[in-house]
Amino acid sequence: MELDEKARASAALIQRAVLLAGAAEGALSLMDTLIKLLSARYPVLQLSFLRFAMGTVFAVALFFARSPQWPTADAVHYNATRSIVAVGAAVFFFIGLSKLPIAEAMALSFAAPLWIAVLGVVLLGERISLRIGLALLAGVIGMLVIVGGQLGGRAYTANALLGAAAVLLSTVFYAFAIIMLRVRANTDPLPTIVLFQNAGPALLLAIPGLLSWQLPTLDDVGLFAMVGFLGVSGHTLLALAFAKAEAARLAPIHYLVLVWGTLYGWLFFGALPGAATIVGATIVVVATLLARRH
């Protein structure tokens, strides 16, 4: 009886983690969509700096609202290192977004869950069950169904190839950032993690961002503020999720960016999904449901 109660409690904990991760992907996908819109008007380094600078405003508010404890020297060192990794993930992905259609950039980002699962095993000693392994595989199949032959079947310009390489490189940085988050999610207070997630990259990108500066319009300042808010919200939800469940178990939830991306593509660009997108999205959703079963 006690074992059944523990099993139910564990299943409920994982379910909450999955819901948090899914909401986080929605917020971060919307942030990426706004970045894609802004990339037509501003350099990538300025975009990256303002994403984290605006995020720092909300992160500072969260930090002081939660009556914080000042971080230890160990927390400062670890989260500062993670900030460097976060800069790599953001800058390379934003480069990809600026050079590729948003659907292709998001499709290429589906390499991230595979890296997260592998690094979780190598660095954290986590186990990949057959169910999670099948979910990861199904997610990749769903991606291939959607993309079809576009990524490999047509001639890429040098600019597009650079964008594709940048997105793939960003997935490696992103996976390391998630694994580092998993390591400290139950050690450092959430406001501390979120503050370093934004303030650290903002400081690192301040000089490069200002050197490429173009004066934003008033409307775009509002968009940048929304980008910062969505970034803080998304990473707060991710931190809560990874404090409750293993990295490998939550990795397939990243495939939900396909669903969010389809919605945002329709809302912002008027692009309706075709049959391949619908089939691929169905496979991805099934993969995610498979991964969340206890």
pLDDT along the chain (294 residues), means of 10: 62 78 88 91 95 95 80 84 92 89 75 76 72 73 64 59 86 87 77 88 94 94 96 86 71 73 79 66 66 52
Does 79 reside within a domain? yes
Give the C-alpha separation, 262 to 256, whole Å: 10
Does 13 reside within a domain? no
Q: Which domain holds residue 267?
A: 21-292
Does 213 reside within a domain? yes
**Encoded tokens for 2:** 């006690």
Does 263 reside within a domain? yes
Does 11 reside within a domain? no
179 contacts 247 by C-beta, under 8 angstroms: yes
258 contacts 284 by C-beta, under 8 angstroms: yes
Determine the Cα angle at 200 with ends 195 and 201, to 5°: 115
- N- to C-terminal Cα distance for the chain? 18
pLDDT at 62: 87
Does 99 reside within a domain? yes
Does 228 reside within a domain? yes
264 contacts 29 by C-beta, under 8 angstroms: yes
Q: How far is CA 65 from CA 192, 194, 254, in A?
A: 12, 13, 29
Q: How far is CA 74 from CA 127, 181, 188, in A?
A: 28, 14, 10
In the chain, the number of structural domains is 1
pLDDT at 218: 93
Does 12 reside within a domain? no
Residue 273 backbone dihedrals phi, psi, to 5 degrees:
-70, 140
